[in-house]
Amino acid sequence: MYNLLNNILGNEYLATIIAVALPLFIFILPYALYAVYGERKVSAFMQDRIGPNRAGYQGLLQSVADILKLIQKEDIIPNEADKKLFNLAPVLVFAGSYAAFAAIPFSGAYIGADIDLGLFYILAISSVVVAGILMGGWASNNKYSLLGAMRSAAQIISYEIPTALVVLTMVMVTGSLNLKTISELQTAYFWNWNILGGAFSGIEKFLLIPFMIVAFVIIYISTLAEVNRVPFDIPEAESELVSGFHTEYSGMKFAMFFLSEYANMFAVSAIVAALFFGGYQSPFGYLGNTIGISWFVPVEQLFWFTIKGLFFVFVQMWLRWTLPRLRVDQLMTVCWKYMIPYAFANLIIVGLITLI
Amino acid sequence: MKTREEIFNSLKQEFPRDVLEFQNVPVEPVITVNPLAINKICHFLRDVEGFEFDTLMCLSGIDDANGEKITEADGTVTIKGGVLSVYYHLYSIKLNHKVTLKVSASRENPEVESVESIWKCADWHEREAYDMFGFIFLHHPDLRRILMPYDWEAGYPLRKDYKNPEFYQGIKIPY
Amino acid sequence: MAFKTEEMILNMGPQHPSTHGVLRLEVELDGELIISVKPHIGYLHRCFEKHCEAMTYPQVIPYTDRMDYLASMYNNFGYVVTMERFLNIQVPERVEYIRVIMGELQRIASHLVALGTYGVDIGAFTPFLYCFRDREKILSLFEMTCGARLLYNYMWIGGLSHDLHPDFIPACKEFLRYFKPNITELNNLLSFNKIFIERTANVGILPAETAINYGVTGPNLRGSGVKYDLRRNDQYSVYDRFDFEIPVGTGANGTLGDCWDRYYVRVREMEESIKIIEQALEQLPEGDINTAIPKRIKPPAGSIYGRVENPKGELGYFIMSDGSTSPYRLKVRGPSFVNMTVFSELCKGHLVADVIAILGSIDIVLGEIDR
B132 contacts on C by Cβ (under 8 Å)? 49
Q: Is there a domain that residue C314 lies in?
A: yes
Tell me: pLDDT of A167 over 60.
yes
Which chain C residues in 103-132 lie under 8 Å from chain A, judged by CB atoms?
A: 119-126, 129-130
- Within a 13 Å sphere around the CA of B44, how many CA atoms are in the beta-carbon half? 15
Most B CBs within 10 Å, among C246, C318, C321, C369, to test the B interface? C318
A252, A290 Cβ separation under 8 angstroms? no
At C17, which helix (H) or strand (E)?
A: none
Q: What is the pLDDT of residues A191-246, one digit of tens each?
A: 777 777 776 777 777 888 888 888 999 999 998 888 887 777 776 665 455 566 66
Q: Which residues pair with residue C310 across a beta bridge?
A: C313
pLDDT at A348 over 70: yes
Contact A323 C16 (CB under 8 A): no
Cα separation of C215 and B122, whole Å? 9
Residues C66, C56: Cα–Cα separation, whole Å: 17
Side-chain-side CA neighbours of residue A223 (13 Å):
31
Least confident of A296-305, B64-73, B92-101, C182-191: B64-73
- Tell me, yes or no, whether C325 lies in a domain: yes
Q: What is the mean pLDDT of chain C?
A: 87
Least confident of B160-169, C162-171, C268-277: B160-169
Q: Which residues of chain A make contact with C200, given a CB cutoff of 8 A?
A: none
Range of the domain at B17: 4-172
Number of domains, chain C = 1
User: C222 to chain B, minimum CA–CA distance in Å?
Assistant: 13
In a domain, C292, yes or no: yes
Tell me the CATH number at C329: 1.10.645.10
Tell me if chain C has a CB within 8 Å of the CB of A230: yes
The reported pLDDT for the residue numbered A243 is: 60
Instruction: Return the percentage of chain C with pLDDT > 70, whole number.
Output: 98
Considering only the beta carbons, identify the residue of A47, A143, A233 that sits closest to C10: A143
Contact (CB<8Å) C133/A48 = yes
Distance, in Å, from the CA atom of C357 to the CA atom of C346, rounded to the nearest integer, reads: 11
Length of chain C: 371
Alpha-carbon span B41 to B43, nearest angstrom: 5
Gap between the Cα atoms of C234 and C229, Å rounded? 8
Q: How many CA atoms lie within 13 A of A265 on its CB side?
A: 23
* B27 upstream amide cis, omega within 30 of 0: yes
C215/B55 touch (CB, cutoff 8 Å), yes or no: yes
Contact C305 B25 (CB under 8 A): no
Max CA distance (Å), chain B: 57
Classify C136 in phi/psi space as left (phi over 0), alpha (psi -120 to 50) or beta.
Answer: alpha
Nearest-Å Rg of the Cα atoms of chain A is 21
Give one word for A249, left, alpha or beta, with left for phi > 0 and alpha for psi -120 to 50.
Answer: beta
Q: How far apart are CA B111 and CA C287, in angstroms?
A: 53
Q: What is the pLDDT of residues B34-55, one digit of tens each?
A: 888 888 888 888 888 888 888 8
Per-residue pLDDT, averaged over B126-146, amounts to 89
Residues from chain C that touch A43, judged by Cβ atoms under 8 A, are 125
Q: For residue B124, what is the nearest residue in chain C, using CA coordinates? A: C341
Interface test with C, best of A230, A323, A330, A333 (most C CBs within 10 A): A323
- Give the count of alpha carbons within 13 A of C201, CB side only: 15
Cis peptide before B165 (omega within 30 of 0): no
Confidence of residue B22 (pLDDT cuts 50, 70, 90): confident
Question: Among residues C134, C137, C91, which one has the least CA distance to residue C112?
Answer: C134
**Which chain C residue is nearest to residue B122, measuring alpha carbons?**
C214
Does the distance separating the beta carbons of B119 and C215 come in below 8 Å?
A: yes
Measured torsion, CA atoms of residues A80, A83, A84, A90, in degrees rounded to the nearest 10: 110
How do beta strands B136-138 and B111-113 pair?
parallel
Nearest in space to C311 (alpha carbons), one of C147, C71, C100: C71
Q: What is the pLDDT of residue A239?
A: 46
Please judge whether C214 and B120 are an interchain contact, meaning their C-beta atoms are less than 8 angstroms apart.
Answer: yes
User: What's C304's DSSP letter?
Assistant: E
Which DSSP letter does residue C312 get?
T
Residues of A (264-323) whose Cβ lies below 8 Å from C: 321-323
pTM confidence score: 0.88
> Which residues in chain A touch residue C201, judged by CB atoms under 8 angstroms apart?
none
Point out the residue among C10, C122, C354 whose CB comes nearest to the CB of A325. Answer: C122
Q: How confident is the model at residue C293 (pLDDT cuts 50, 70, 90)?
A: confident
For residue C226, which residues of chain B lie inside 8 Å, CB to CB?
A: 93
User: Per mean pLDDT, which range of A184-193, A240-249, B95-104, C203-212 is the poorest?
Assistant: A240-249
Helix (H, G, I), strand (E, B) or coil at A118: helix
Average pLDDT value over all residues in chain A: 83
Q: What is the DSSP letter of B102?
A: E
pLDDT for the residue numbered A228: 80
- Give tens-digit pLDDT for A13-55: 777 777 778 888 888 888 988 898 999 999 898 888 888 888 8
Collapsing DSSP states into helix, strand and coil, what is residue C321?
strand
Taking the Cβ of residue B133 and every Cβ of chain C, the question of whether any pair is shorter than 8 Å is answered with no
CA distances from C87 to A33, C294, C297, C306 (A): 66, 10, 9, 12
Helix (H/G/I), strand (E/B), else coil: A52 = coil
B28 in C contact zone (CB under 8 Å): yes
Smallest Cα distance from C47 to chain A, Å? 30
CATH number, position B9:
3.30.460.80
Q: Where is pLDDT greater, at C60 or B155?
A: C60
Which positions ≥6 away from C165 have C-beta within 8 Å?
Answer: C144, C145
Q: How far is C99 from chain A (nearest CA, A)?
A: 32
Which of C234, C237, C212, C235 minimizes the C-alpha distance to C222? Answer: C212
CB contact under 8 A, C189 and A49: no
Note which residues in 227-266 of chain C have CB less than 8 A from chain B.
Answer: 228, 233
Alpha carbon of B13: minimum distance to chain C alpha carbons (Å): 26
Q: A97: pLDDT confidence band, cut at 50, 70 and 90?
A: confident
* C32 touching chain A per CB within 8 A: yes
Dump pLDDT digits (tens) for C67-120. Answer: 888 989 999 999 999 998 888 888 888 899 999 999 999 999 999 999 988 888
Paired strand residues for C281? none
Confidence (pLDDT) at C105: 92
Return the SS3 of B70: strand
**Are C and A close enough to touch, i.e. 3+ CB pairs under 8 angstroms?**
yes
pLDDT above 90 covers a percentage of chain A that reads 8
